[in-house]
Amino acid sequence: MARARAFGRAVRSLLFACVAAALGAPSAQAAGGESVDQALCRLIEEAALREALPAAFLTRLIWRESSFRSHVVSSKGAQGIAQFMPGTAAERGLKNPFDPEAALPAAARLLADLQRRFGNLGLAAAAYNAGPARVDAFLAGRSGLPSETRLYVRLITGRSAEDWAAAKRGEKPAPGGPQAGKSGADKIFEADKPSEAKAGSDTSTAPEAERRTGAPRGFSDDGKSDYGKSDYGKSDDGKSDDGKSDYGKSSDGKTGDGKTCLGVVAALRQGEPALAGTAESPDFAPWGVQVAGAFSKSVALAAYGRAATRFAGVIGERSPMVIGTRVPGRGRGPFYRVRLPAQTRAEANALCASLHKAGGACIVLAN
């Protein structure tokens, strides 16, 4: 029974990252596979496209929530890469908040619903952080938003919550916000105002993603205002990409262009460390001891369960990392690996040596 409980706790602590292509193989990144950021960005961009959300908006929000760490639990109990509270996860039908393949699409669906309810992305972000009831009270003038939520909205969207509220009301930005005038700031919230165009009028001049999402002009893909010069939905040559993701165009993910998930993450890692998530949990382990792997997640977890039971004296209460990334030449489905985390190579080597001594199989690999 104790072993079953330990395994249950381990399975609930899933981490999605990128490492070796198979047990004993060189690292997947070195072999041309996905890196950690690439694997997560693929999921984010697919989820954003499915729900007609700007990929950069979803990227910045998820980064703010967890810094792309899938195993974190906040001091308030929010879980996983998208920081779902248990009650919200249950309401949304999310069975495992620690599984990015389930949590990221669920987060995108929730944000799309909140955007439809409140009218724009900024208020949707506020509701994701503070809850819809707090945003309703804020809009009705019954109470303000928590300081944490105000900072959250500004860091993700580049605008204040008051500006987004003013946009919902069809007003100009509130005093203290962007100044109207020749700078073009008047256009920032144009897309959020009630449409004055008559049926059948031509709206083709608006960027594609702006028409889909209601994102205000000037809210660029990196979440910062560019005063009416947003290039949402456009590729580098300025042409519409019809909402298609350009994930993976930069092999190293260091474009910093703010137009793709990888570009946003590169900018966040290189120049905006203050935007890192605040979830309280140990950081991602740089080393791992791989003990199981399969193209089926359930098969990989079952294999780990058998190892955890057989070698309970070695594995103990450790929570594994479940890693799923694509393998070059092996189709589009991810290969799942189960690893025990270690903070140093020496720690990983010692753990693997203990498993070998007990009759188990393992390999030490860098995450």
Q: Give the residue numbers spanning the domain of 317.
A: 2-32+282-366
Answer with the one of 256, 275, 294 that is the final residue of a domain: 275
What is the CATH number for 337? 3.30.70.1070
Lateral strand order in the sheet of 321-326: 321-326, 334-342, 287-294, 363-366
Whether residue 217 is found in the same domain as residue 321: no
Is 65 one of the annotated active-site residues of the chain? yes
Q: Is residue 199 part of a domain?
A: no
Whether residue 225 is found in the same domain as residue 172: yes
Cα angle 2, 315, 38 (rounded to 5 degrees) comes to 115
State residue 31's pLDDT score. 43
Whether residue 254 is found in the same domain as residue 111: yes
206 vs 180, 184, 278, CA distance in Å? 20, 15, 36
Whether residue 18 is found in the same domain as residue 123: no
State residue 339's pLDDT score. 87
What is the CATH number for 46? 1.10.530.10
Q: Is residue 197 part of a domain?
A: no
217 phi and psi angles, rounded to 5 deg:
-60, 140
Terminal CA-CA length for the chain: 31
Q: How many domains does the chain have?
A: 2
Whether residue 116 is found in the same domain as residue 233: yes
State residue 69's pLDDT score. 87
Q: HSE on the CB side for 209, CA within 13 Å?
A: 31
Query: Which is the catalytic residue, given 34, 45, 65, 162?
Result: 65
Q: Is residue 149 part of a domain?
A: yes
Whether residue 154 is found in the same domain as residue 17: no
pLDDT of the chain, 367 residues: tens digit per residue:
444 444 444 444 433 333 333 333 333 443 456 787 889 999 999 999 999 999 999 999 999 999 898 888 888 899 999 999 999 999 999 999 999 999 999 999 999 999 999 999 999 999 999 999 999 999 999 999 998 899 899 889 989 999 999 999 887 554 434 333 322 222 332 333 333 333 333 333 233 333 333 333 333 333 333 322 223 233 333 333 333 333 333 333 333 455 789 999 988 887 554 333 333 333 456 788 999 988 888 888 889 889 988 999 999 878 787 777 777 777 777 888 888 888 889 999 999 999 999 999 999 988 7
Q: Is residue 198 part of a domain?
A: no
Answer with the one of 223, 248, 275 that is the final residue of a domain: 275
Whether residue 177 is found in the same domain as residue 228: yes
